[in-house]
Amino acid sequence: MLWQLAFRQTVHHYSTDVCWTPMVLAKEFNRNQFARDSDLTISTTGPELPTIAQFGSNSPLELSRASSLAAPFVNGIDLNCGCPQSWACAETLGAALMEKRELVRDMVVATRQRLREDGWAVGKEEDMHNPDGKGRSVSVKIRVHHDLRKTVDFITTVLGDEQNRNIDWLTIHPRTRYTQSSVPINLEALELLTNMFGDKLPVLVSGDVFTLSTLPYTSHLLATQPTFTSSDSKLETNKAPTSENQRPYLPKLAGLMSARALLANPALFAGYERCPWEAVDIFMNNVARAPLPLKLGIHHLTEMCGAGFGPDRSALLSKGERIRLTEFDNWIDVIDFIDGIKKIRGLEPMVRLASL
Ligand X SMILES: Cc1cc2nc3c(=O)[nH]c(=O)nc-3n(C[C@H](O)[C@H](O)[C@H](O)COP(=O)(O)O)c2cc1C
Q: Give the binding site for ligand X (CB under 6 A).
A: 1-2, 22-23, 54, 80, 82-83, 141, 173, 181, 206-209, 258-261
Cβ-based nearer residue to ligand X, 116 or 146: 146
Cβ-based neighbours of 113, under 8 Å, separated by 6 or more: 64
Q: Which residues pair with 80 in a beta bridge?
A: 141
The distance of closest approach from Cβ of residue 337 to ligand X in the complex, given in angstroms and rounded to an integer, is 24
Identity of the residue, 168 or 208, whose beta carbon is nearer to ligand X in the bound complex: 208
Q: C-beta of 80: minimal distance to ligand X in Å?
A: 5
Q: In the complex, what is the shortest distance from the CB of residue 61 to ligand X, in angstroms, rounded to a whole number?
A: 22
**Minimal CA–CA distance to 286: which of 74, 19, 12?**
12
Please state, in angstroms and rounded to a whole number, the distance separating the CA atoms of residues 101 and 184. 26
Residue positions counted in the chain: 356
80 vs 286, which CB is nearer to ligand X?
80
Q: Which is nearer to ligand X, 208 or 281 (CB)?
A: 208
Output the smallest distance, CB 95 to ligand X, in A: 10
Cβ neighbour number for residue 46 with a 10 Å cutoff: 8
Q: What does the alpha-carbon distance between residue 8 and residue 17 come to, in Å, rounded to a whole number? A: 10
d(CA 74, CA 66): 12
We find the least distance from the C-beta atom of residue 84 to ligand X, in angstroms, to be 9
Residue closer to ligand X by CB (options 7, 285) is 7
Contact 129, 161 (CB under 8 A): no
Distance CA 225, CA 237 (A): 9
